Amino acid sequence: MKLKKELPLLLIVAAPLAYLAFVWNSLPETVPLHWNFKGEIDNWGDKSSLIFITCLMTLFMYGLLSVIPLIDPKKKLQYMGQKYYNLKFFLLLFMAALAMFIIYSAKEQAIHNPNLLFIVLGLLFVVFGNYMKTIKANYFIGIRTPWTLESEAVWKKTHTLGGKLWFVGGLAIVVCCLIFNKDISSRIFLTIVITISVIPILYSYFLYRKLDS
């Protein structure tokens, strides 16, 4: 039963490796490995590097997400059940999509539309934001500040706010990338990411001080 449940996840993990094997002979010996926010290549390497950069990072994520519920000192993630499985599924799906996007871009030696990557990231924020308020207090996933880890109430309220911000921020990223060109959308992307990351951290601090006073 457990193998049947894990099979979709294992197929997602295997997808980038299968795609890389399919296009391997058509790849040049030297391929682009990194691009800046303007979609310009700023790092090159041997095509064998793609195995580690794309395929193994998906496998590593699968292993990490499988292990952390077992080693979490708070033992809260084990009780999330299907919600944790769904979160794991979408995170792996994102990692696999990112890996295949990198392989495709390496094959073409260009990112024709960086906005596509921003849209995928925006959708990840939407999904994660939708599940954030259901994440139990733990040391591995979520907004892990000294104040959320210290107080269960701060954890819950911070993740409720953070979930709303990530959901709305992710939608805003997707919409902006569909409207604006890559230069404008990259600046908007950075602004939104910084905003939805910093606000929950500051909120957890001031909320903890308020509850502790």
Q: Mark which of 94, 112, 130 sits at the end of a domain.
A: 112
Q: Where are the alpha helices (DSSP H) in 2-55?
A: 2-23, 49-50
107 in the same domain as 186: no
pLDDT attached to residue 170: 95
Structural domains counted in the chain: 2
Distance CA 102, CA 112 (A): 12
Decide: helix, strand or coil at residue 160: helix
- 97 and 156 assigned to the same domain: no
Q: Which domain holds residue 158?
A: 113-213
Token pair for 25: 């002979």
Q: Tokens in use for 48? A: 């064998």
- C-beta atoms surrounding 192 within 10 Å: 21
**pLDDT (tens place) for every residue of the chain, 213 residues total:** 477 788 999 999 999 989 988 988 888 777 766 666 655 666 677 788 888 877 778 888 899 888 888 887 777 777 777 888 888 898 899 889 888 888 887 777 666 667 888 888 899 999 999 989 888 888 888 899 999 999 999 999 999 999 999 999 999 999 999 999 888 888 899 999 999 999 999 999 999 998 876
| 126 shares its domain with 103 | no
- Quote the pLDDT of residue 1: 45
Let me know whether 39 and 133 are in one domain. no
Examine the domain organization and report whether 2 and 101 are in the same domain: yes
User: Are 198 and 140 part of one and the same domain?
Assistant: yes
Beta bridge partners of 44: 32
